[in-house]
Structure 1
Amino acid sequence: MNEIIERLTSHASGRLSGVQFCVYVANRLVLPSLRLDELRKFASGENTLEGLTKAYIHRNFE
């Protein structure tokens, strides 16, 4: 049971290093949905892909 909880916690983290689920969510769902103004925020550091991925996961998955 602890393995399942640990795995779900890693999925919910949005971290792209070592969590293949988050990489897929970022590449297939988050990046294609970004608007130009959101992409510009990457240059200033306002947006991070991990932050956007974590927010997407928390909004769309239970």
Structure 2
Amino acid sequence: MVQQDPAGYILSLQITDCTGDELFKHSVEVAVRRSEPLPLAPNPSVFQRTLIFDFKPQR
């Protein structure tokens, strides 16, 4: 779960219900943080502070 501000900057990042190992969790966190600032909503009225991403490891 990612909490963002209206400019797309990450306020908090929480990894929950992860089926991957610690390396996978770290990779997810790094990938999300490197995407900062997140893309802006096309219209400010549809902005969502909380985003949920579903990453699945492929083996």
Same fold by TM-score greater than 0.5: no
TM-score, with normalisation over the residues of structure 2? 0.31
Larger proportion of strand: 2
**Bigger proportion of residues as helix:** 1
Higher relative contact order (CA 8 A, sep 6+): 2
